[in-house]
Amino acid sequence: MLQSNLSKNLREHGYDLLGGPIRSYKLLQLWLKVPANPIELYYAHINHAFESKKALEVSENSALKVSSRYKNEYRFNVGMSLLEPLLSAFGLGNLSLETLISSGKSVGVSYEGSESEELVMGSLENYLHQADYLHPNPSLYSHLNKDQILLISGVLWAKNLVITIETDIEISPSLIVKLDKKIDGKLNTFKKNDKVLKLVSEGKMPFPIAVKANRLHFDKGHFKGSNLVTDSRSLF
């Protein structure tokens, strides 16, 4: 049976697992989500839109850790399809692994070496209850009153991307050589057994793998609260 305990574990902590090549997410960014439109970055930091006498507090979620035992597994063709945008984040968008491994049983994705950074939500309430716009901003006023602004309230990083590919043929030494040539040192290639390949990123710099976001609620310019949205929706 295929596992999906990575996504499940992250959802339980309110996080949306990232799947695409964009890895520029940062804590306290403001994102705009207009109905029928894709989500887009609105402000690189909340302080670019607001000013407040109250400080925002950040902490680490010590209960949230991911390792290779938390894995999402996919049937072979589904998994190979999602690897292309995922590997683009590592400068390997044109790897085309399917040209070297054309059939198999499954593809697994997991991460190792995680760390998190989260906004203390009580400090956000204090900040926004005392906040003013940084300058007159009719566009911000309109979007906030329509509940269209999301705040990145948590970011989870990992040092290693781990990919396992279960093939239906025996993995030959020549295939490993071809893979190493294509990957060009950006991933380490291992042969777990005769039919399972393991690819692991270098782990030099942590990269975002999941984000937590809260929708901000305003009524005629006054802050009314926020609610977590990434515990049930895939927005990023």
Mark the ranges of the chain whose per-residue pLDDT is less than 70: 1, 3, 91, 93
Please tell me the predicted confidence (pLDDT) of residue 153.
98
Please tell me the predicted confidence (pLDDT) of residue 88.
80
Please tell me the predicted confidence (pLDDT) of residue 3.
67
- State how far the alpha carbon of 207 is from the alpha carbons of 137, 176, 178, 199, 220, in Å: 33, 26, 27, 17, 38
Compute the CA torsion angle 7, 88, 104, 234 (nearest 10 deg): 30
Tell me the pLDDT tens digit for each residue of 33-72: 999 999 999 999 999 999 999 999 999 998 898 888 899 9
The C-alpha atoms of residue 34 and residue 148 are separated, in whole angstroms, by 6
